[in-house]
Amino acid sequence: MGSNTITTLGKVLSSAFTAGKIIDISMELNERTVVWTADPQPKLTPVCRQPEADCNFTWLDFGAHAGTHIDAPFYLFKDKWTCDQIPLNRMIGPCQVIDLTNVDDEITEEDLSLKSIEHPIILLKTRNSFDPMTAYNPKHIVLSVKGAEYLAERGVTTLGYDYQSFERDGKNNVHHVFLSRSITLLDNLRLADTEEKEYLLVCLPVKVTGIDGAPARAILIDEQP
């Protein structure tokens, strides 16, 4: 049975690659990546470079919440999961992209109640995904606390978003709604190339141990013909 499952997954992956149905929803991480206004810019220091050196080796220096990354409950709760403790079924599995590009300021409970939430992994696509990301946008689309509570009550276990944060003021009220329930957050997604439908999410955060956030590569596989 195990090998059949692997064969089935292998077929899904190989046909998705052939049909170009894999969407990279990760942000580029480099010295120009837009980060939270209080954080230093990521630094990628070339320790050595060819032809002067034998090899190319780079020193990385950036915050745990730079670029596409996950937020662990430990960010706000010292006794809850750190990034490496989050079960991988929160990061890999069927998911649903919800299109909220009609919203021009704040996603409300009413906006979300018009959508059917069918999976525990939900990615919210907003106008943020179309931001060229050349500078921090203080007016980026946000999620209301009531909207966050609505999603938590629908059984969402992983919530993806297309900006650095769900909120603008740095007060973490929306984060509190999710992280108090150990809902995993996936920030800084790029969802412009996605549609409102089901995909298979594969997101693997770097296994940095004992901390609040970890950079991740996230892709969507379109299984539908």
Which of residues 71 and 131 has its CB atom nearest to Zn ion in the complex?
A: 71
Residue 162 lies near Zn ion (rule: CB under 5 A): no
Instruction: Provide the β-strand partners of residue 23.
Output: 220
Q: Which segment (38-46, 62-70, 148-156, 174-182) binds Zn ion by CB under 5 A?
A: 62-70
Using CB under 5 A as the binding criterion, the count of chain residues that bind Zn ion stands at 4
Amino acid of residue 153:
E
Identify the residue among 111, 162, 167, 187 touching Zn ion (CB under 5 A).
187
Instruction: Let me know: does 151 contact 219? Beta carbons within 8 Å.
Output: no
Per-residue tokens: 4: 């059949």
3-class secondary-structure state, position 17? helix
Residue 125 lies near Zn ion (rule: CB under 5 A): no
Instruction: Let me know: does 188 contact 67? Beta carbons within 8 Å.
Output: yes
Which of residues 76 and 221 has its CB atom nearest to Zn ion in the complex?
A: 76
Q: Which segment (5-13, 14-22, 54-62, 211-219) binds Zn ion by CB under 5 A?
A: 211-219
Residue 71 lies near Zn ion (rule: CB under 5 A): yes
Q: Which segment (65-73, 108-116, 121-129, 217-225) binds Zn ion by CB under 5 A?
A: 65-73
Q: Which segment (13-21, 66-74, 83-91, 98-106) binds Zn ion by CB under 5 A?
A: 66-74
- DSSP state, 114? T
Which of residues 39 and 222 has its CB atom nearest to Zn ion in the complex?
A: 39
Per-residue tokens: 64: 């745990």
115: how many CB neighbours lie within 10 A of its CB?
Answer: 15
d(CA 128, CA 106): 12
- DSSP state, 130? G
Which of residues 65 and 119 has its CB atom nearest to Zn ion in the complex?
A: 65
Residue 140 lies near Zn ion (rule: CB under 5 A): no
| C-alpha 153 chain-centroid distance | 20
Residue 65 lies near Zn ion (rule: CB under 5 A): yes
d(CA 211, CA 111): 33
Q: 72-111: which residues touch Zn ion (CB under 5 A)?
A: none
Which of residues 186 and 200 has its CB atom nearest to Zn ion in the complex?
A: 186
81: how many CB neighbours lie within 10 A of its CB?
Answer: 18
Minimum distance of Zn ion from residue 112's CB (angstroms): 21
Minimum distance of Zn ion from residue 8's CB (angstroms): 34
* Site of interaction with Zn ion (CB under 5 A): 65, 71, 187, 213
